[in-house]
């Protein structure tokens, strides 16, 4: 019985969302909590669940909007592919926005992950991936400058560092080691993805290796769960 109010809230909220056309703005959180007869904390928990499913989109300081449904980008984790290639496979158009390309000096965890001395020059590429004008992922790659100089990234760059490295062919790439976890969005990431602080995201932290065992790219990526589905094929041991 303790779970009944929350289940009823989910049902009522789902009905409200389904009744509204895409891009409709939902009532404010206080008004919606009053309308549904629940606390704001309970409503906020339900809203996070629906946002994770890609049914609504909350924008800090603006409001909460019903989203149009888009195909889910699905991938097995056994093969490393860019978002662009995965989206192309299902006919989904994705674009890179808020692109920032800069030369920085290696420090801390990034220097350690890349196996380079502190203050070594790195190329950092950060961008937000959009579909249908909605941000769905935030990606940051850091690479030694000799692997990918800033000057090697031109105005034809689509947003995929992996595809760029493969096309250049300077360093043969063999595999990636990736740590996967659920995290709460930091204020900076929440702002870029137009969500609320501490909303749950999928976080991939990856090291991309060359044939010689060198780390060519250290990256961290944040994905909105409602727009991505990852799976693993496992054999019986």
- The more confident residue out of 234 and 5 is 234
pLDDT in tens, 217-234: 999 999 988 788 898 888
Query: Taking the mean position of all CA atoms in its chain, how far away is CA 201?
Result: 7
User: Whole-model pTM?
Assistant: 0.78
Question: Dihedral of CA 98/101/106/109: which sign?
Answer: positive
Distance between CA atoms of 152 and 165, rounded to whole angstroms? 10
Question: Dihedral of CA 162/165/169/172: which sign?
Answer: negative
pLDDT of 5 reads 67
pLDDT of 36 reads 85
Which domains does the chain carry? 4-66 (1.10.10.10), 73-231 (3.40.1410.10)
Q: Contact at 8 Å (CB) between 123 and 142?
A: yes
Predicted confidence (pLDDT) at residue 102 exceeds the cutoff of 50: yes
The set of residues, in sequence order, having a beta carbon less than 8 Å from that of 234 and lying 6+ positions away, is none
Predicted confidence (pLDDT) at residue 175 exceeds the cutoff of 90: yes
pLDDT category at 3 given cuts 50, 70, 90 is very low
């Amino acid at each position: 019985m303790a779970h009944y109010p929350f289940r009823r809230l989910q049902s009522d909220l789902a009905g409200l969302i389904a009744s509204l056309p895409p891009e409709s703005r939902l009532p404010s959180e206080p008004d919606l909590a009053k309308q549904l007869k629940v606390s704001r904390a309970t409503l906020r928990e339900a809203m996070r669940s629906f946002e994770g499913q890609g049914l609504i989109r909350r924008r800090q300081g603006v409001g909460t909007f019903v989203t149009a449904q888009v195909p889910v980008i699905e991938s097995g984790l056994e093969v490393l592919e860019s978002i662009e290639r995965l989206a192309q496979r299902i006919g989904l158009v994705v674009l890179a926005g808020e692109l920032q390309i800069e030369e920085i000096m290696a420090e801390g965890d990034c220097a350690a992950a890349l196996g380079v001395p502190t203050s070594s020059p790195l190329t950092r590429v950060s961008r937000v991936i959009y579909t249908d004008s909605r941000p769905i992922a935030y990606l940051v790659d850091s690479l030694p400058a000799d692997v990918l100089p800033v000057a090697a990234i031109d105005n034809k760059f689509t947003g995929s560092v992996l595809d760029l490295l493969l096309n250049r062919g300077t360093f043969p790439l063999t595999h990636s080691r990736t740590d996967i976890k659920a995290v709460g969005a930091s204020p900076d990431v929440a702002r870029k993805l137009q969500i609320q602080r501490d909303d749950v995201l999928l976080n991939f932290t990856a090291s991309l290796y060359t044939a010689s065992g060198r780390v060519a790219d250290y990256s961290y990526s944040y994905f909105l769960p409602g727009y991505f589905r990852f799976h693993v094929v496992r054999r019986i041991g």
